[in-house]
Amino acid sequence: MGDPRGFVKNTQRVPEARNPIERLGDWNEHYMYFDEEQRRKQASRCMDCGVPFCMSGCPLGNLIPDFNDLVYKGQWKEALRTLHATNNFPEYTGKICPAPCENSCVLGIIEPSVTIRNDESSIVEKGFQEGWIVAQTPKERTDKKIAIVGGGPAGLACAQQLNRAGHNVTIFEKRSKLGGLMQWGIPAYKIRKEVVQRRISILKQEGIDFTLNCEIGKDVTWADLKKDYDALVVAIGAEQPRDLPAAGRDAKGVHFAVDFLAQNIARIYGEKEATEGEQIKAAGKNVIVIGGGDTGSDCIGTSLRQGAKSVVSFELMPKPPQERAEHNPWPQYARVFKESSSMEENRNSGGQVEYCIATKEVLKDEKGNVKGLKTVRVEWSTDDHGRPTFDEVPGSEETWDAELILLAMGFTGPVIQGMVDELGVELDLRGNLKTDDASKMTNLEGVFAAGDCRRGQSLVVWAIAEGREIASNVDTWLMKKASLLPRVRLTPYRY
C-alpha cells in the first residue's frame, strides 16, 4: 500500500462522459480517460484491505489491491502483468463490466468505492499504447487438437489458455468476425470494434486457427467435428431471444433486439451482414423498446443515434431503489437504480422509461405494419411463499404509437437443437448445456461447454472466467494429469 492516507486525501472521481446530446451525432465511445496523475490519485484510494472483498466480488478474482498499488507507484508494466495474470481481456471488462468488484469494495461501506474498473481500463490501454501487449507463442506444442465452437469471450479465453498449454486450437465461428456479442451485440459507443479485433489479431499471431463463416450443425456436422478433434468445447452463447406472447406479435416492424443491433454494427463497419435480411431502421420512427436491461438500453442508444423520432422504454419490474435495500447489504451486488448512458441520452432527448407496465396487444394497420401497443399497468406484491408476483391494475389500459418495436426481454438459452438431435447432448432444466460439476464435461466424453450456453445469459466477465476454468478442465482431461493452467471459481460468493 503506497499511500496509507490515499483514501482520506482523495475523493472518488470518474472522468466526465461526453455531452449526452453531442455524442448522439456519432458512434464513438461515450466515456473519456484521466491522465496518469489523476489515475494514480484514484488508485491510491485503495486501502489494501487484509481481506479484499473486491477480489471475491470479481468473478475472475482479479488481484485488485496489487494492481492499484502498482499504478499508484507508477509501475504500469508490472500492473499490466498482474492484471493479465487473472484476466485475458481486461480491455473488454475495463469498458463494459458492471464492476461487481466495486460493489464489494470495503471503502464502499463509508464512501464511494475505489474506481477499480477505470483503473483496469487505464492499465491495459497504456499497455497497448506502449506496445507491451504482444503475442506469446508456446515454446512447445502437444499433438492434441481442440475445436472450440463459438468465438465470443468464453471461446476466445478458452482458446488462449489452451494454446498457452501448447495444444492446437481451432475456433469455428458462424459469423464473419470473432468477438460474439462484444462484436455483434454491444454497440460501438460502448466498445469500439477496433478494440475487440485488436486482441483477436494477437490471438491469431499466437497460433490459434480461426474458421469463420462456418456454422456447426449446418456447414459441418457436430458429429464430424467431434470425430476429427481430441476435444470439443461448445461456447455458442445463449442466442434464443425471449418472445412477446401478445396478440398481433406477427406485425411487420416488431424485431428482436440483437437483430437490430447486429445489423447496425455491420452497417457502420461496412460488413456483409448489413445487407442480409430485412433492413431494420429507427430513423424518423416512434420506437418502443420492451425490456429494461443492458440489451434494452443498447437499443435506446442505437435508435437515438439512427435518428428516431421518439424512444420509450418499457419495464415490467418496478424502478429499483436509489439506495441499497435492507435485504441487499454490502458486499452483495447493489440492486439500485443506475441510469445507463443511453437512458441519460434519452432523458435529455425527451424520452422516458415506463416501469410496471405490461404489453397486452401489438396494434397493426390494414397492411400488417405495426402502429402501436396496448398496455396495462401492473402492481407488484409477494405471494404466500414470499415470491414476487404482479396483478394488472384495473382501468389502466393505454395505447402508444410506434412504428418500430424492439424486443429486449432476455434470452432463454442456446440454439442447440442440431446438437441435441445429432449427438444426444443433455440439457439442464433451464435449457442450457448440462455439465458435470467437477469436470465441466457434458454427458458426451470429450465434449465440454463454456460461457452463456452453460450458465445462461450472463456477463462478459463471467464468460472469460468460464473460458479459463473450462480450459484447465480440458487440459487435465486430455493430458491425464493436473493442469498447470489457473483455475477459476465459477459460483459467486454467497455473502
Ligand X SMILES: Cc1cc2nc3c(=O)[nH]c(=O)nc-3n(C[C@H](O)[C@H](O)[C@H](O)COP(=O)(O)OP(=O)(O)OC[C@H]3O[C@@H](n4cnc5c(N)ncnc54)[C@H](O)[C@@H]3O)c2cc1C
Q: Which amino acid is present at 279?
A: Q
Of 14 and 420, CB closest to ligand SF4: 14
Q: How many CA atoms, within 13 angstroms, populate the side-chain half-sphere of residue 406? A: 31
From 93-101, 154-162, 239-247, 273-281, give the range in contact with ligand SF4 by CB under 6 A: 93-101
Q: Quick check: 69 and 40 in contact, CB under 8 A?
A: no
As measured in angstroms, the least distance from the Cβ of 150 to ligand X is 3
- Which residues are near ligand X by CB under 6 A? 96-97, 149-155, 172-175, 180-182, 185-186, 215-217, 235-237, 258, 261, 294-295, 298, 451-452, 458-461, 463
Counted residue by residue, the chain has a size of 495
Of 60 and 402, CB closest to ligand SF4: 60
Q: Which amino acid is present at 183?
A: Q
Q: Rounded to 10 degrees, what is the CA torsion of 373, 375, 380, 384?
A: -100
Helix (H) or strand (E) holding 170: strand 168-172
236 binds, among ligand SF4, ligand X, none (CB under 5 to 8 A by kind): ligand X
As measured in angstroms, the least distance from the Cβ of 242 to ligand SF4 is 26
* Strand ranges in 201-355 using DSSP code E only, listed in sequence order: 209-211, 231-234, 240-241, 254-256, 286-290, 310-314, 352-354
Report the distance separating Cα 62 and Cα 51, nearest Å: 14
Q: Quick check: 156 and 177 in contact, CB under 8 A?
A: no
Report the distance separating Cα 117 and Cα 104, nearest Å: 13
Indicate whether 97 belongs to the interface with ligand SF4 (CB under 6 A).
yes
380 SS3 class: strand
Q: Which of 46, 70, 96, 101 binds ligand SF4 (CB under 6 A)?
A: 101
DSSP letter (8 states) at residue 477? H
Q: Which residues contact 93 (CB under 8 A, 6 or more apart)?
A: 60, 87, 117, 120, 460, 461, 464
Indicate whether 68 belongs to the interface with ligand SF4 (CB under 6 A).
no
Indicate whether 60 belongs to the interface with ligand SF4 (CB under 6 A).
yes
Helix (H) or strand (E) holding 440: none
Indicate whether 52 belongs to the interface with ligand SF4 (CB under 6 A).
no
Report the distance separating Cα 435 and Cα 425, nearest Å: 10
DSSP letter (8 states) at residue 415? -
Indicate whether 100 belongs to the interface with ligand SF4 (CB under 6 A).
yes
What mask of x and - would describe binding to ligand SF4 in positions 225 to 254, judged by CB under 6 A?
------------------------------
As measured in angstroms, the least distance from the Cβ of 474 to ligand X is 16
Of 44 and 303, CB closest to ligand X: 303
Of 105 and 460, CB closest to ligand X: 460
Strands 310-314 and 352-354: parallel
Report the distance separating Cα 483 and Cα 473, nearest Å: 7
Indicate whether 116 belongs to the interface with ligand SF4 (CB under 6 A).
yes
For helices 116-129 and 64-72, angle between their N-to-C axes, nearest 10 degrees = 60
Of 73 and 192, CB closest to ligand X: 192
From 96-104, 127-135, 271-279, 295-303, give the range in contact with ligand SF4 by CB under 6 A: 96-104
Indicate whether 120 belongs to the interface with ligand SF4 (CB under 6 A).
yes
Of 64 and 107, CB closest to ligand X: 64
80 binds, among ligand X, ligand SF4, none (CB under 5 to 8 A by kind): none
Indicate whether 62 belongs to the interface with ligand SF4 (CB under 6 A).
yes
312 binds, among ligand SF4, ligand X, none (CB under 5 to 8 A by kind): none
From 2-10, 55-63, 180-188, 229-237, give the range in contact with ligand SF4 by CB under 6 A: 55-63
Report the distance separating Cα 196 and Cα 177, nearest Å: 10
Of 99 and 148, CB closest to ligand SF4: 99
Of 95 and 285, CB closest to ligand X: 95
Task: Give, in degrees to the nearest 5, the angle at Cα 32 between 30 and 34.
Answer: 165
237 binds, among ligand X, ligand SF4, none (CB under 5 to 8 A by kind): ligand X
Q: Quick check: 61 and 53 in contact, CB under 8 A?
A: no
Q: Which residues contact 245 (CB under 8 A, 6 or more apart)?
A: none
Of 64 and 289, CB closest to ligand SF4: 64
Of 94 and 179, CB closest to ligand SF4: 94
271 binds, among ligand X, ligand SF4, none (CB under 5 to 8 A by kind): none
58 binds, among ligand X, ligand SF4, none (CB under 5 to 8 A by kind): ligand SF4
Q: Which of 45, 117, 175, 255 binds ligand SF4 (CB under 6 A)?
A: 117
Indicate whether 334 belongs to the interface with ligand SF4 (CB under 6 A).
no
Report the distance separating Cα 464 and Cα 388, nearest Å: 32
Task: Give, in degrees to the nearest 5, the angle at Cα 217 between 213 and 220.
Answer: 60
Q: Which residues form the interface with ligand SF4 (CB under 6 A)?
A: 58, 60, 62, 64, 87, 93, 97, 99-101, 116-117, 120, 461
